[in-house]
Amino acid sequence: MIEVVSAERCIGCDKCVLACPTDVFDRGTDGVPVIARQDDCQTCFMCEAYCPVDALFVAPETRPLPDGSALRDEARLTDAGLLGSYRAGIGWGRGRTPGARLAVGPDLPRATPAPPPVKPSTT
Amino acid sequence: MSSPSLPEETTVLTEELTADVLVVGGGPAATWAAVKAAESGASVVLADKGWCGSSGATAAAGTGVWYVPPHPEAREAAMASREGLGGHLADRRWMARVLDQTWENMHEVASVSRYPFPVDERGEQLRRGLQGPEYMRRMRVRVQRAGVRILDHSPVLELLLDAHGAVAGAAGHRRQADRPFRVRAGAVVLATGGCAFLSRALGCDVNTGDGYLMAAEAGAAMSGMEFSNAYAIAPEFTSVTKTAYYSFATFHHADGSVVEGAGSTRGRSVIARTLLAEGRVLARLDRADEAQRRAMRLGQANFFLPFDRLGIDPFTDLFPVTLLAEGTVRGTGGVRITGDDCATDVPGLYAAGDAATRELICGGFTGGGSHNAAWAMSSGTWAGRGAAAFARALGEGAHRRRLTPAGGVGLRPTGTPGAADGHREVTEAVRREVLPYDKNLLRDGAVLGPALERLHDVWAVARAGLRGHGKDAMRARRAAAMTATARWMYTAALAREETRGMHKRLDRPHQDDPGSRHRLVTGGLDTTWSVPETGAALPVGATAAVAAGVAR
Ligand SMILES: Cc1cc2nc3c(=O)[nH]c(=O)nc-3n(C[C@H](O)[C@H](O)[C@H](O)COP(=O)(O)OP(=O)(O)OC[C@H]3O[C@@H](n4cnc5c(N)ncnc54)[C@H](O)[C@@H]3O)c2cc1C
Ligand code: SF4
Ligand code: SF4
């Protein structure tokens, strides 16, 4: 779930307010968006992708983290290089190669499921 | 009876819009529909519950695409590959159409949207996959360039009908402006995605079956609703249901011993059984070599989000996994299609993407992995053009029609309205019946029957008292839509007294051929029904189906 909006980094562009598919944010009076409906967060990471200054952090857990969790601590997230890591991963942002250009995964070992046994109907 | 005015019209003025075609949704199916309707000369409004470009399963997840070069042998192999798995309910003619259309559309993704496909060593573009955020942000731009008016954060709540029962628009609520809106349209395309019951599967919480309910209220039927029990693997307590790379995984009990027979494609039910019995299954992607590991990071960046953030090395550490319901998103059920233009049983109403049945190309086997993405862009294209043609044929009179709202449950209670947050109780009651593996994944008639009875009770209570105003109307309607979807799922699952495709009945483990080799058409509101699809005209009213003895 969305856990961090960095007031220090945020430039108040409202992109996350718009791009969040489940309308989690409200515009804050100081321009910094407020996490108004965390319960509705679907942990899709889209807000992070759209934030131009890497001010948001979405923890991978689909339930809110308790106070004191490392993944709610902006300083620790910054140190760990996690702020903005999704945007970097998909290659969004000036000077980056779009991740789509490089997106060639491995061939998958294919184990096709077996169809169910057939019993001819008697009717 | 329902009055022709909108529910709870208060002091806030309704925003009134007019268009030849209204597209409901904002994912791939909706955006292709909007673009193609506009290219056909129609004026188009697109209304999305979320934000067109980031909303829906594709935007968050990304998709492999059923993209097969037009060489006869390659096409033949592609069509044959899943026919048996789908229980022979797919249709070769539709498969061929989708392969042709997808080939064309992927070319447009490259040439018009300038999507940065990877290139191979000969400089050829590799077009077998689409990264979600990139694809959908480019589709949004294309929609805008086509002159389509986009309404973001504008969930559609109900359809509007003309005096003859044709769909002539829709009404909803602009949630960030907190204002109702209404669009008069010559025709409507429903591209609202599938239904994953707010399971938190990646990008799927916007997909709550809204389109199925709206279509049914207008008189449309569903098809393939028994194939609605897709479950996807995710690291425990996370949303990332990207399953492809689990084909490199081994699965383990809590004590580290291997779970025999567990797997991502084959043996997902073994994982479910172990989770039910032991509460825990661990995984490790230890079957991937160094080169494969590196390729995975490039292939699907979002797959690694939970691992990197939780400090897990998925290649060397054992980590707990869960199965999240994806319902009809990676299942194949949806609104029944009655024509090549993706028309439905109701004039003026078209369906595309996961809102529509994907049985035509998947049968009863999951459309995830490639088919659904191809279907979304192909059916979107056809529905957009079909709706534009329908609107054109109506001519000038289209916008002078008298409109009646079709919405019932959640908007216009038949009894005393209940509490404002009544949607919570309804939602939880439905989730209790459809999320557990021992009800929906490992199916048994003796379990499904009572579950369906309880769902009927939930519906009765909701029909009588569920109501949401303003911003909450969306929550009430999605709770209602999930209830309806769940009832159609289990009505169809009980009617299909065999195992076929993803519908696996423990009490009926065999595929009954040829006796049950037919699609099931399902529908009804206060009473649900499911009947074999025949060439004959469909009993759209519940009464006909009751007569056939299959209701409830
Ligand atoms: C994790 C994951 C991985 C997948 N991988 C693949 C794959 O590799 N290959 C493949 O083919 N398929 C895959 N799928 C399936 C594929 O993503 C879907 O089939 C596809 O997104 C369907 O497109 P759509 O436009 O119909 O629906 P979606 O993309 O889900 O979009 C639905 C849209 O409808 C809007 N909406 C919903 N209700 C309303 C309403 N009431 N009013 C207005 N708008 C509304 C939503 O906001 C959203 O914009 C995957 C799915 C998931 C979840
Ligand atoms: S993770 Fe998704 S749902 Fe959650 S706040 Fe960000 S955009 Fe919204
Ligand atoms: S997208 Fe980023 S910079 Fe813009 S308002 Fe949101 S947090 Fe602030």
Residue B235 CA to residue B231 CA, distance in Å, equals 13
Number of Cβ pairs closer than 8 Å across A and B?
188
Q: Is A11 in the pocket of ligand 3 (CB under 6 A)?
A: yes
If you search the block for the tokens 């919480």, which residue do you land on?
B205
CA–centroid distance, A24 to ligand 2, in Å, is 7
**Residue whose C-alpha is closest to residue B33's, from B346, B403, B333, B355:** B355
**pLDDT given at position B4:** 43
Q: How far apart are CA B370 and CA B128, in angstroms?
A: 8
- In A, which residues are within 8 Å of B428 by CB distance? none
Burial of B112 (0-12, 13-18, 19+ CB in 10 A): middle
E strands, B5-103, in order: 15-24, 44-47, 63-64
- Indicate whether residue B523 lines ligand 1 (CB < 6 A): no
Look at residue B294 and tell me whether its pLDDT is greater than 50: yes
Confidence of residue A111 (pLDDT cuts 50, 70, 90): low
From A50-54, B467-471, B500-504, the region with the lowest mean pLDDT = B467-471
Whether B441 shows a pLDDT value over 70: the answer reads: yes
User: What pLDDT is attached to residue B549?
Assistant: 37
Give A15 to chain B, closest Cα distance, Å.
11
The domain defined by A2-94 folds into Alpha-Beta Plaits (3.30.70)
In chain A, what residues touch B287 (CB-CB under 8 Å)? 109
Q: Are A86 and B239 in contact (CB under 8 A)?
A: no
Residue B340's Cβ-count burial label (10 Å; 0-12, 13-18, 19+) is exposed
Residues of A in contact with B516 (CB under 8 A): 121
The DSSP output letter for B538 is: P
Instruction: Give the whole-angstrom CA distance, residue A104 versus residue B377.
Output: 22
In this prediction, residue A114 has a pLDDT band, given cuts at 50, 70 and 90, of: low
Task: Please say whether the beta carbons of B481 and B473 come within 8 A.
Answer: no
- pLDDT range class, residue A14, cuts 50, 70, 90: very high
Task: Give me chain B's average pLDDT, please.
Answer: 94
pLDDT of residue B12: 76
Question: How far is it, in rounded angstroms, from Cα B428 to Cα B419?
Answer: 15
Q: What DSSP letter does each residue of B458-509 carry, written as one string?
A: HHHHHHHH-B--TTHHHHHHHHHHHHHHHHHHHHHHHH--S-BTTB-BTTB-
B253: how many CB neighbours lie within 10 A of its CB? 16
Ligand nearest to the CA of A37: 2
- B500 backbone dihedrals φ, ψ, rounded to 5°: -155, 140
CA nearest neighbour of B238 among A76, A96, A65, A11: A65
Best of A2, A37, A42, A79 to substitute, by most chain B Cβ atoms within 10 angstroms, is A42
Q: How confident is the model at residue B552 (pLDDT cuts 50, 70, 90)?
A: very low
* B26 CA → ligand 1 middle, Å: 9
DSSP state of B238: B
- The position carrying tokens 């319901």 is B325
User: Does ligand 3 have an atom closer than 6 angstroms to the CB of A18?
Assistant: no
What pLDDT shows up at residue B3?
Answer: 42
Higher pLDDT, A82 or A121: A82
Q: How far apart are CA A117 and CA B144, in angstroms?
A: 50
DSSP-H helix ranges across A8-106: 15-19, 46-50, 74-79, 85-89, 99-102
pLDDT bin (cut points 50, 70, 90) of residue B5 is: very low
> How far apart are alpha carbons B193 and B417 in whole angstroms?
29
Say which amino acid occupies B13. Answer: L
Torsion from C-alpha of B302, B308, B314, B316, nearest 10 degrees: 150
DSSP B440: I
Structure confidence at residue A123 as a pLDDT band (50, 70, 90): very low
Kindly report the nearest CA distance between residue A46 and chain B, in angstroms: 6
Q: Which residue has the tokens 């192909």?
A: B378
Strand partners, B513: A120
Asked if B336 contacts B220 with a C-beta cutoff of 8 angstroms, the reply is: yes
Residue carrying the six token digits 């069509």: B79
CA nearest A72 in B: which residue? Answer: B309
Tokens read off for B189: 């395309």
pLDDT in tens, B233-275: 999 999 999 999 999 999 999 999 999 988 877 789 999 999 9
Predicted-complex ipTM score? 0.94
Place of tokens 């609202």: B192
A42, A111, A119 member nearest B512 (Cβ): A119
For ligand 2, the distance from its centroid to the CA atom of residue B299, given in whole angstroms, is 22
* Residue B458 to residue B56: CA distance in whole angstroms: 27
Longest Cα–Cα distance in chain A: 73
pLDDT at position B539 over 60: no
Would you state the pLDDT for residue B1?
A: 37
Provide the token pair at B423: 């949607």
Q: For residues B385 and B229, what is the distance between their CA atoms, to the nearest angstrom?
A: 31
- Cα–Cα dist B342/B338, whole Å: 7
Instruction: Give the CATH superfamily of B14-225+328-405.
Output: FAD/NAD(P)-binding domain (3.50.50.60)
Mutational test site, ligand 3, from A15, A17, A24, max ligand atoms within 8 Å of CB: A15
Domain chopping of chain A, boundaries: 2-94
C-beta A44 within 6 A of ligand 2: yes
Strand B156-161 versus strand B149-151 pairing type: unpaired
- How many whole angstroms separate alpha carbon A66 and alpha carbon A77? 16
pLDDT one-digit tens code per residue, B356-399:
999 999 999 998 889 999 999 999 999 999 999 999 999 888 99
- HSE of B505, CA atoms in CB hemisphere, 13 A: 24
Q: Which of A17, A86, A101 is closest, CB to CB, to B305?
A: A86
Ligand 1 centre distance from Cα of residue B206 (Å): 9
Mutate to test the interface with B, among A77, A108, A110, A123 (most CBs of B within 10 A): A108
Segment B159-174, tens digit of pLDDT: 999 999 999 999 999 9
Backbone dihedral angles phi then psi of residue A93, each to the nearest 5 degrees: 120, 150
Query: Three-class SS of residue B150?
Result: strand
What average pLDDT does this structure show over B88-92? 96
| Closest atom of ligand 3 relative to the A17 alpha carbon | 6
B152 to chain A nearest CA, in Å?
A: 8
- Whether B424 shows a pLDDT value over 70: the answer reads yes
Query: Which pLDDT belongs to residue B262?
Result: 87
Subunit contact B152:A114, Cβ cutoff 8 A: no
Query: Residue A100 is encoded by which pair of tokens?
Result: 């789509």
Per-domain residue ranges for chain B?
14-225+328-405, 230-327
- Alpha-carbon span B232 to B448, nearest angstrom: 21
Name the A residues in 10-29 with CB < 8 Å from any B CB: 17-23
Of B505, B484, B433, B352, nearest to B35 by C-alpha is B352
Chain B contacts of A92, Cβ < 8 Å?
133
Pick the residue with more confidence: A123 or B80? B80
Give CA–CA dist B112/B190, Å, rounded.
Answer: 25
Residue whose pair of structure tokens reads 């602009």 in the numeric block:
B174
CA distance A73 to A67: 9
Could you say which of 3.40.50.720, 3.60.10.10, 3.40.1710.10, 3.90.700.10 is the CATH number of the domain covering B230-327?
3.90.700.10
Phi, psi angles (nearest 5°) of residue B171: -130, 150
Regarding the beta carbon of A58 and ligand 2, being less than 6 Å apart is answered yes
B379 min Cα distance to partner chain A (Å): 23
Q: For B512, which of A21, A45, A121 is closest by C-beta distance?
A: A121
Look up tokens 């009464």; give the residue.
Answer: B543
Mark which residues 58-87 of A lie under 8 Å from B by CB. Answer: 59-63, 71, 82, 85-86
**Rounded distance between C-alpha atoms, residue A81 and residue B311, angstroms:** 12
